Amino acid sequence: MTRRTQQALREAPLIPLEDLPRYSPWPARLLGLSAWRKPVKSEAELYREYEEETFAPYLERARSHYAHSLYREWFAAQTAGTGPSPCHTECGLRLLTPGQQLEVFIDAVQDALAPHLPAPALCDLGAGTGKILYCLAQRGVTRQTPLLAFEFSPSARELIRHFSRNQGLDMQVHACNFLEPRITEAAIPRDAVLFTSFALACVPRDATDFLRALAAFRPRVVAHFEPCADFFKPDNLQHMMCRRYVEINGYNADIHIAARELEAEGVLRVLATRPNVFGGNPLLPFSTVVWTPA
Ligand SMILES: C[S@@+](CC[C@H](N)C(=O)[O-])C[C@H]1O[C@@H](n2cnc3c(N)ncnc32)[C@H](O)[C@@H]1O
């Protein structure tokens, strides 16, 4: 994490857990005080949520109002009216602005990936807007490394093409579907660095099976920035709320458990873990899990 981000975190106001209901409807839902129905995560529902509800409107707005903008300019415009909100950080619940949240997030991703670069490719699986790749490129972390973004939503793929073109990046963009046995038809070079960020969390695929599918690409390293339920401590109130949040939203939070199972079978080796690094959503922090095929 950069010194600047560490300082920003230390200076950000601390929020007591008891104040969380002022900022979020989730404590009431978790306690059964307001209604909530667990979403069905079928492929059709994922398409509705991500393609129709999220990325198709984003793409339309980006094309009509931000035809030549960089991702960061677009992000600043989208979040202009949004004040600081409570975030899960390694130093407690802190109020952070959207801009600070992006920096903390990218810092943590950079910490995990930079030691393994340059590489024959850096592949973001389930890339969304592609923000991680643009931000790492802007920081100079990905010099001499081809960038590949894989996405399920067709509009998100177009959005990635839009922003990478505006940033002058020669990025390859491909379709992927984590629900398929082979997640993409596109070629992933051997010895590539692969990562997922809050992507497997959304997809109801067995994590062990998914990791085996990734290992088949013979990557140098795979990093996950995903919620991991086994890192939530059973005697910590906030962690208990995170566990329940993951359960009632149907998030997939088994990646670390799966990695350890496959390590015991001799399929892969876990190189590093960093529990509950950061959550812009205070009840959904990601943990970092980095592994290499055995
Ligand atoms: C919460 S977003 C995370 C996006 C990005 N990785 C980030 O950190 O900003 C979840 C992403 O998973 C993608 N996704 C949804 N269903 C998928 C599927 N079946 N296969 C692969 N990705 C999927 C969505 O389109 C979306 O981009």
* pLDDT above 90 (res 270): yes
- Average pLDDT over every residue of 252-273: 98
In a domain, 4, yes or no: no
286: buried, middle or exposed (CB in 10 Å: 19+, 13-18, 0-12)? buried
Q: What is the pLDDT of residues 222-248, one digit of tens each?
A: 999 999 999 999 999 999 999 999 999
Q: What is the pLDDT of residues 88-118, one digit of tens each?
A: 999 999 999 999 999 999 999 999 999 999 9
* pLDDT above 90 (res 3): no
Q: In angstroms, rounded to a whole number, what is the distance separating the alpha carbons of residues 105 and 277? A: 9
- Average pLDDT over every residue of 243-257: 96
Q: In angstroms, rounded to a whole number, what is the distance separating the alpha carbons of residues 35 and 29? A: 6
- The answer to whether the CB of 50 is under 6 A from ligand 1 is yes
Q: Which domain holds residue 176?
A: 39-72+86-293
* Closest listed residue to residue 97, CA positions, set 89, 87, 110, 106: 87
**Sequence letter at residue 8:** A
Instruction: Give the pair of three-digit tokens for residue 51.
Output: 């393609």
162-166, long-range: CB < 8 A, 24+ apart: 162/59, 162/62, 162/63, 163/62, 163/69, 163/70, 163/71, 163/74, 163/129, 163/130, 163/134, 164/130, 164/133, 164/134, 166/68, 166/69, 166/70, 166/71
* pLDDT above 80 (res 1): no
Q: What is the DSSP string of 143-171?
A: TTS-EEEEES-HHHHHHHHHHHHHTT---
Top mutation candidate among 40, 45, 78, 198 for ligand 1, by most atoms within 8 Å of CB: 198
6 pLDDT band (50/70/90 cuts)?
confident
Is the separation of the CB atoms in 203 and 178 below 8 Å? yes
- Which residue's alpha carbon is nearest to atom 1 within ligand 1? 198
Q: In angstroms, rounded to a whole number, what is the distance separating the alpha carbons of residues 283 and 10? A: 20
In a domain, 281, yes or no: yes
In a domain, 133, yes or no: yes
- Average pLDDT over every residue of 243-260: 97
- Average pLDDT over every residue of 212-225: 98
In a domain, 31, yes or no: no
* pLDDT above 90 (res 172): yes
- The answer to whether the CB of 268 is under 6 A from ligand 1 is no
Q: Is this structure's pTM higher than 0.85?
A: yes
Q: In angstroms, rounded to a whole number, what is the distance separating the alpha carbons of residues 177 and 190? A: 20
In a domain, 131, yes or no: yes
Helix (H) or strand (E) holding 222: strand 221-226
Instruction: Give the pair of three-digit tokens for residue 284.
Output: 């959904």
In a domain, 28, yes or no: no
- Average pLDDT over every residue of 169-173: 97
Overall number of domains in the chain:
1
Looking at every residue in the chain, the average pLDDT score rounds to 96
In a domain, 67, yes or no: yes
38 pLDDT band (50/70/90 cuts)?
confident
In a domain, 1, yes or no: no
Question: What pLDDT sits at residue 5?
Answer: 86
Q: What is the pLDDT of residues 274-294, one digit of tens each?
A: 999 999 999 999 999 999 999
CATH number (domain holding residue 235)? 3.40.50.150
- The answer to whether the CB of 178 is under 6 A from ligand 1 is yes
